[in-house]
């Protein structure tokens, strides 16, 4: 597998506080990487840096070898980095389908019927086709999360950054989402997934990264990372993870 995204020496400071402090991070094509860590570990901040939502203080990010550190979120989205938020951010005044059209035409660069097809395909994949004409503000939490995923998918990403997409869902609902995410992997999309529900996460990811205090403290095969004493002490404060 060739390297898709590579970040070296990433630092994000707010005043004297470094929320991401010297992180090296790589994602290969079609790879699924999970990120875990206690609250305040810097997971979402890392995702913000990778998606371009906030600028880096130090370090560099490359997509397929090309430096993209100075590019903003819209540019990165148009060049294959999609993202979902921890708290879904639908465009509430629009229908579900219109939400997808914005993403397909702007993020994906699809035009006319291509954009419609892309929107329909993404909605179908995320199980939201029947809600296409509903106003986004009437959706429940699971549907909002599905819309968030579908909207990111409509941009035609090579890499999808998922921020606690299972948060707030029941186990059954989260497992439904896992099926959708596994389907995305089968379509060749690489995934970086932050999640607190670890037993859901390990159904998808092949590599796990654990962060604490802005740094990566362990990385590798999910089961070995979860048994790593450093991870147990930092992340759980107990002896076993799963």
Contact residues for other proteins, defined by CB under 8 A: 51-53, 72-74, 77-78, 82-83, 85, 89-94, 98, 101-103, 105-109, 151-152, 155
Shortest Cβ distance from residue 84 to other proteins (Å)? 9
Shortest Cβ distance from residue 135 to other proteins (Å)? 12
Q: Which is nearer to other proteins, 102 or 197 (CB)?
A: 102
Cα 81 to Cα 78: distance, rounded to the nearest angstrom = 7
Q: Which is nearer to other proteins, 21 or 44 (CB)?
A: 44
Give the Cα-Cα-Cα angle 133, 134, 135 (nearest 5 degrees). 120
Shortest Cβ distance from residue 106 to other proteins (Å)? 4
- Residue 204: which of 224, 184, 220 has the closest Cα? 184
Q: Which is nearer to other proteins, 94 or 213 (CB)?
A: 94
Shortest Cβ distance from residue 49 to other proteins (Å)? 13
Shortest Cβ distance from residue 143 to other proteins (Å)? 16
Q: Which is nearer to other proteins, 21 or 122 (CB)?
A: 122
Phi-psi category of residue 109: left, alpha or beta, with phi > 0 → left and psi -120 to 50 → alpha: left
Tell me the residue length of the chain: 242
Q: Which is nearer to other proteins, 69 or 206 (CB)?
A: 69
Contact 197, 166 (CB under 8 A): yes
User: Tokens at residue 24, please?
Assistant: 């090296």
Q: At what angle do helices 96-106 and 141-154 cross, to 10 degrees?
A: 20
């Amino acid at each position: 597998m060739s390297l898709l995204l590579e970040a070296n020496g990433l630092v994000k400071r707010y005043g004297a506080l470094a929320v991401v402090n010297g992180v090296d991070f790589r994602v290969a094509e079609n790879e699924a990487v999970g990120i875990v860590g206690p609250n305040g570990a810097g997971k979402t901040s890392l995702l913000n840096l990778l998606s371009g939502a906030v600028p880096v203080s130090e370090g560099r990010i490359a997509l397929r070898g090309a430096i993209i550190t100075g590019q903003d979120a819209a540019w990165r989205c148009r060049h294959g980095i999609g993202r979902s938020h921890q708290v879904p951010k639908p465009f509430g005044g629009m229908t579900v389908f219109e939400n997808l059209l914005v993403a397909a035409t702007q993020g994906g660069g699809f035009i006319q019927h291509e954009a419609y097809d892309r929107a329909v395909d993404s909605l179908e994949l995320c199980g939201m086709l029947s809600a296409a004409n509903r106003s986004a503000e009437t959706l429940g939490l699971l549907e909002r999360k599905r819309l968030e995923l579908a909207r990111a998918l409509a941009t035609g990403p090579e890499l999808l950054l998922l921020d606690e997409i299972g948060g707030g869902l029941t186990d059954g609902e989260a497992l439904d989402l896992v099926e959708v995410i596994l389907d995305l992997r089968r379509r060749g999309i690489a995934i970086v997934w932050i999640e607190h529900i670890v037993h859901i996460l390990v159904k998808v990811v092949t590599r796990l990264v654990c962060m604490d205090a802005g740094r990566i403290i362990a990385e590798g095969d999910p089961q070995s990372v979860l048994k790593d004493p450093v991870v147990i002490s930092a992340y759980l404060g107990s002896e076993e993870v799963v």
